[in-house]
Amino acid sequence: MRYGRHQIDKAGEIAISSTEEDVYKNAIEKINDWRSLHLMVLDKLQTEINAILDRNRIKATFTSRRLKRLTSILYKLDLNPKMRLGGMQDIGGLRIVLPNIQTLDKLYSLLKVNVPEGFILDKDPINYIETPKESGYRSIHFVYKYISDENDYNGLRVELQIRTRLQHFWAMAVETAGLVTKTPLKSSQGADEWLEFFKYVSSLFAIKEERKILSIHSEQGLNTKDLMILLYQLDRRYNLCDTLKALRVTNNVALQEKYTNKYYILNINFKTKRVSVNPYNDEAAAMNDYSRLERVSQDAKNAVVLVSVSKIKELQEAYPSYFLDTSDFLRIMDRIISNCEKMKLV
């Protein structure tokens, strides 16, 4: 690799601890350069995964790629003192969203025995569907190591996530609520009412997909009716769905147009509720602007992310949290709340 593991570990340590401006700046530049190398590896992984999908006639709802935000990288390092930047496995991420749990099961079985060409599995897949996180998060993660004669890229790790549309709606709603409340809800930190709300939803979605509910709920002996009532009562007490409904940003591009750009920088302004979408074909230009915008961004006021989708019309579907858009999630919540009232459960 262009940078040795020790170099990157050291840059990460400096980035979260140094008070010397020049030393900090040099560390951030090194991290950004190393992070940008993952773009090519993600391109290669997506090409190989798409070939597996095509050969087996699996149609994904959509696929997307992203580089981890610098603020997320530094937060993760600060939160986990034993973690080292060189060992972080999700700097580059590829996500595949499948239409239903049956299609996901099929792809999962295939990927366990078909490793993409040019990669090795760095560890066993982590199945957060069968064993969800405490937050209720469900997805399946594969971590691949790239093997190449090109020293800059050899050994870089990237992560593949596969999930269903229902699991995606849940995850994006959590991320949106986290952006708005300025708390890391997906790391099980934040207001108790939000954390409990998303746990109830996770278990209800699991029942829909014929999977296990969260252990905290099964240990309490909760069934579908119980979960619906608890969700309804919590929502009515704290107006959580209404809070999400009040959110929606406007954007500066017509997302249905046939853009052919490879990368997009999304920059959301929480105060004005606008998101600018800037398209790029040139990787270097995209990374330069991404790094520059990250330097001046303030988490309380705005968020910036570099992403890639195959079609511009998929951008908001793949990253609804950056448009503060939870409409798909809320349609399901409305049905649950309406059913509670119709069946006079509350």
**What CA–CA distance (Å, rounded) separates 116 from 144?**
9
pLDDT at 259: 61
**Per-residue pLDDT tens over the stretch 265-296:** 988 887 777 888 888 989 899 999 999 999 88
**What CA–CA distance (Å, rounded) separates 312 from 42?**
18
More confidently predicted of 211 and 300: 211
Q: Are 128 and 162 in contact (CB under 8 A)?
A: no
Angle between helices 21-36 and 70-79 (to 10 degrees): 110
pLDDT at 296: 86
Helices and strands of the chain, counted as H and E runs: 13, 10
**Per-residue pLDDT tens over the stretch 162-220:** 999 999 999 999 998 988 888 889 889 999 999 999 999 999 999 999 999 999 999 99
**What CA–CA distance (Å, rounded) separates 13 from 301?**
26
Written as six digits, the tokens of 119 are: 């990669």
202 backbone φψ class: left, alpha, beta (φ>0; ψ -120 to 50): alpha
